[in-house]
Structure 1
Amino acid sequence: MAAPKRTLYISPPDGGWGWMIVAGCFLVTICTRAVTRCISIFFVEFQTYFAQDYAQTAWIHSIVDCVTMLCAPLGSVVSNHLSCQVGIMLGGLLASTGLILSSFATSLKHLYLTLGVLTGLGFALCYSPAIAMVGKYFNKRRALAYGIAMSGSGIGTFILAPVVQLLIEQFSWRGALLILGGFVLNLCVCGALMRPITLKEDHKKPPEQDSSSKTPKGDLLPLSLCSPLLEECTQPCLCCSLKQEYHFLLKADFVVFATSILFMAYGCSPLFVYLVPYALSVGVSHQQAAFLMSILGVINIVGNVTFGWLTDRRCLKNSRYICYLFAVGLDGLCYLFLPMLQSFPLLMPFSCTFGYFDGAYVTLIPVVTAEVVGTTSLSSALGVVYFLHAVPYLVSPPIAGWLVDTTGSYTAAFLLCGFSMIFSSILLSFARLIKKMKTSHLQSLDKEPGPKLQLWPNGTVAYSVAGEVDQKDGDLMTTGGPSYNT
């Protein structure tokens, strides 16, 4: 077959087929992130069928989330070397196969491998390439396009949670997993929508290639003979570029921010695993418990859109960092009150509040990261920040499950998650306060009179010219003015 023609665009089209790319990414987020959240609905069935405790069952959700985060760079590599269409289609096949094989599981270890590793790997191959394609097609409307595409996670959770519960009641957990496997196969259709686009900037050659193309033909042979030596010389340059790209890892502000991300990620993950089992344990019906997850997903979307819009206003634009701390801290407070809420009418306001502020701080994570490292290193820093979510996502649900098995209640697990998120907010608050104190101290030193030391770009020290001018003016006043030679 002949290769399909690619239209050369000078800049992203900001529309046209790009809206189909947005629709495809929207469906990808439903089939990946929403399905991952709905896996917790199967936990009660898994515990009853396999006669296992909470800690053993919670590893399924942890492995799915961890593999999806850890293998996300693999999805980018596959899409770059093959194509985005191939990467998403391959991921859809792997994820669907994992869910279908999980319907024949005979033990939890079987589910760890199929529902955890295989499905998580498939989601990883789909998620990052789909998000990257939206950025290829949009520039001016990029924020709107990403807002629509990423809302699939909350909308998908709202729709799928009661549907999955109904499927379990009608066809058992095996039949529900089999149907979910067929539904996730729609990722192959989403991959087919990802039509590749070629921009003008993709055809720009680096300066080294342009200069080499102008060399005479007689010089080609010596260059080819010396090419191995040139490759060895360019390796240190590659290391220097990587060091320059990730220089922010040594900044104190980023280290504190990364540490707070670990505590925040530990606290936010277990709720999506244990909200339904906790609701069932306090006497809430299965349908109402699934509806709590749906409400959580819908309000999460509202938090994403409205809180992002509010922090873009002039009155809050310079306080986004504080708004992020406020959202994380309030989610931690919601955790502390959760053990006292033991009925459906009380759990409804909790789901609304937690879902809203969960969507709020998720929206502000890239904004706060940009404030910490700057916009130049934002892409690399976000990769590190989202990579840091993997380990807390892996260990927090099993630790919470172990606490539930040990204490016989959910109180200790929820309190630990709440204090973890509050500590994350307090840590960043103290770091912000110390930074402001240092800044005010430096500003007070700058306002002190007298000659000041200044450092020129070449590294030499120069005294303030203002001090010397004042001294000369004083000398002129005492001598009665300058004397002129005639």
Structure 2
Amino acid sequence: MSTIVVDSPRAWGTVVGGFIANFILGGLGKSYGIILEHFQDEFEAPTAVFTLTGGVIYMLMFVLSLGQMPCMPSPLLTATLPNHFVVQRIGDRAVVMIGGIGACVSLFIAAIAPNVTVWAIAIGGGVGFSFSCVYFNIFSVIGRCFREKLGLANGLSVAGVSVGQMAFPSLVTLFLQRYGVRAGTVVMAAFSLHLCITAALMPRHVVDAESEEDIVVSSSSISRRIEEPSSSLLPSPLGGSANDLDEKELDPMLQQRETPLTVYSSSSKIMQHQERLATALLVIFVIGKVFADNGDVGISFIAPPYGSQIGFSAHTTNMAIAVAGIVDLLSRLFFGWLTDRPMCRGRRGTFLAFTWLVEGAVALGFGEIAETSWSLTAISTSSASHSKVRNAFLRGGHTPTTRSRPT
């Protein structure tokens, strides 16, 4: 796409591209725990290396792409962030295209990595940088393409994360079991090239509908003025030329000279307030994003290994992740539709706070269940060890002695 109008039917093409990108990014992110297990067996490395690598992915993805948030306060701050610096010069489409190709190359290098160090650099640095070129650029473009149905557009776009969460764990497990760890990673590298479709669906320029109409009206008025004769050559109906103005008509015009200064001073104050508000919104967003994504990433990383440790099969773990994806999909679509309703305009922050409270309660419940299950596992393990010792003692021909009670 070259140029699209805000809220036009062609703007929904960017939503399709955002859905594809979120499907791939969210699916790979939610499946990292499954990939972690297989590569840990491949390299025989400690779990801390792979967990740290996953943290580096998310750190680079959020830090490098933070400049694309629409509430960034000033060009001085945004210019220091690489993603924003590059986007201002080559555009969103080129940056997303670089991200898709970079993700493919990074996953391919990880597939042929000779040791865990090369693998960690390729996944943590390469994939993290590539995802940073894609993730927030999607929301930035969709935010410019919609005004009336922005909530629904964002909801449909982010629904790709939920669908990816449903589909990717089973696909990744199938690839790794059928083709092996390295060949399965090559397949995922080829699949990540679909991010280039997202880049192709992004527009070069976004134009407001009002601005186009204004351009048409202004051009037609200019043409009419060129065709019409000059008013200074026409005689005045009161006698004399049209350039002869009465003092009564001239005084109000002279009094309006102070109006631009007043408007300028008020607009400068409004700009200062907007910058402060944008800074406050940015700080709140970063704090909330750190805590929310920390819990989300933690559950995504530890859920598959934890399910294996307590005896769940890979199919059961994948089904649990898929069910979570279904609930996530429905909630994203519902809140996206709800925030576009007239009675809910301006209350997106309230809904976001509500979802984070629910997520915190679920995380607390998950921690309590995990602690209880670990306690039960320890008790069953200790009882099994005691029974083994007793059986071995009895097979040795010894009988436990009993003391007689004193009379």
Instruction: Please classify the TM superposition score into its range, dividing by the shorter chain length.
Output: 0.5 to 0.7
> Residues 54-203 of structure 1 correspond to what in structure 2 (within 5 A)?
54-72=47-65, 73=67, 74-199=82-207
- Asked whether the 8 Å contact 1:76–1:125 carries over to 2, the reply is no
The aligned counterpart of 1:293 is 321
- Structure-2 separation of matches of 1:202 and 1:82: 24
Q: Deviations over 1:157-207 (max 9, x none)?
A: 111110100111001111111001000011112211213234258899xxx
Q: 1:341 to 1:308 in 2, by over 3 A?
A: farther
> Residues 204-223 of structure 1 correspond to what in structure 2 (within 5 A)?
none
- Structure-1 separation of matches of 2:140 and 2:285: 25
Pick one of 273, 276, 293 that aligns with 1:247: 276
Q: 1:151 to 1:333 in 2, by over 3 A?
A: same
Q: 1:29 to 1:321 in 2, by over 3 A?
A: closer
What letter is aligned with 1:34? G
TM-score by length of structure 1 reads 0.55
Pick one of 266, 270, 294 that aligns with 1:266: 294
What letter is aligned with 2:367? L
- Alpha-carbon shift at residue 306 of structure 1 (Å): 3.6
The aligned counterpart of 2:43 is 50
Q: 1:263 to 1:80 in 2, by over 3 A?
A: closer
The aligned counterpart of 2:364 is 333
Q: 1:289 to 1:71 in 2, by over 3 A?
A: same
- Alpha-carbon shift at residue 137 of structure 1 (Å): 2.3
Q: Deviations over 1:288-316 (max 9, x none)?
A: 2222222222222223234566787969x
Q: Can you give the 5+ residue segments of structure 2 that lack an aligned partner in the other structure?
A: 68-81, 215-268, 375-380, 382-407
- Asked whether the 8 Å contact 2:61–2:132 carries over to 1, the reply is yes
- Asked whether the 8 Å contact 1:41–1:290 carries over to 2, the reply is no
State whether structure 2 residue 27 is matched by structure 1 residue 31.
no
SS at match of 1:17: helix
Pick one of 266, 283, 303 that aligns with 1:275: 303
SS at match of 2:8: coil
The aligned counterpart of 1:225 is none
- Structure-2 separation of matches of 1:82 and 1:202: 24
**Bigger mean CA offset, 272-281 vs 83-92:** 83-92
SS at match of 2:112: coil
Higher relative contact order (CA 8 A, sep 6+): 2
- Alpha-carbon shift at residue 78 of structure 1 (Å): 2.5
- Larger C-alpha radius of gyration, 1 or 2? 2
RMSD value, Cα: 3.6
- Structure-2 separation of matches of 1:186 and 1:308: 25
- Alpha-carbon shift at residue 254 of structure 1 (Å): 9.2
TM-score by length of structure 2 reads 0.64
- Alpha-carbon shift at residue 56 of structure 1 (Å): 1.8
The percent identity for this pair of structures is: 19
How many residue pairs get aligned? The number is 301
- Alpha-carbon shift at residue 268 of structure 1 (Å): 3.3
Q: 1:63 to 1:18 in 2, by over 3 A?
A: same
